[in-house]
Amino acid sequence: MIDYYRQNSDQINGWLGWHARLSALPLLFGLLIALPLGWLARRYRWLYPPVVTVAGLLYTIPSLALFILLPGLLKTRILDPTNVVVALTVYTVALLVRVVADALGSVSEDVLQAATAMGYRRLGRLLKVELPIAVPVIAAGLRVAAVSNVSLVSVAALIGVPELGQLFTNGFQLSYQTPILLGILLSVLLALAFDSVIQLVARVLTPWRRAVPR
């Protein structure tokens, strides 16, 4: 396996880089979209059930179908990585909307009441009080989404997008196990890397969680 990597290292590193980018960008965009949506679902209670249902349905669309459909919808070329980013953003949003809504819902009524009574306006309260307290729950959701993205990106290899999934298609075409094993290994390492980064950021943002043993 190491020999195989040495021989193809340039190409494989390129795929790894793409794979990382194609999983990370949707995570970022997905979070930015899910935050206001989750807030809305929380703020207007009647929105919560439909939003959560729609999000769940979105997640059940097969990824391959989305990769093939999007170029038509977005007027992009089939090999354009934008398709993958958009598709995975949809999945990330689907996963995170509910997480954000529930995370905001976990802030205690006493805290919300105190914040309002002290003269926070709605946006200030959201940014300075609710979101900081919601960080641990949102981070847990992000970790799930990150792993899901890393594994979904591989599927895009079927339509020729350059990422680690290429190792699986190559291995399959050549009936050769080594690239497949290497692909799995690198995917797992990538997922672990994302996971650690998210955990680290969450830790830095929540010094108050460390103060008390729980």
Given the complex with another protein, which of 170 and 206 has the nearer CB atom? 206
Q: How many whole angstroms separate alpha carbon 213 and alpha carbon 200? A: 18
- Per-residue contact flags (x/-) with another protein for residues 153 to 192, judged by CB under 8 A: ----------------------------------------
Give the binding-site size for another protein (rule: CB under 8 A): 20
Is residue 111 a contact residue for another protein (CB under 8 A)?
yes
Q: Residue 137 has which token pair?
A: 């729950």
Q: How many whole angstroms separate alpha carbon 148 and alpha carbon 66? A: 15
Q: Residue 135 has which token pair?
A: 């960080």
- Per-residue contact flags (x/-) with another protein for residues 185 to 214, judged by CB under 8 A: ---------------------x-x--xx--
Say if CB 66 and CB 152 are below 8 A apart. no
Q: Residue 158 has which token pair?
A: 């079927």
Q: Which stretch binds another protein (CB under 8 A): 10-18, 37-45, 94-102, 111-119?
A: 111-119
Contact positions with another protein (CB under 8 A) in 121-150 = 121, 124, 129, 132-133
Given the complex with another protein, which of 45 and 77 has the nearer CB atom? 45
Smallest distance from another protein to CB 128, Å = 9
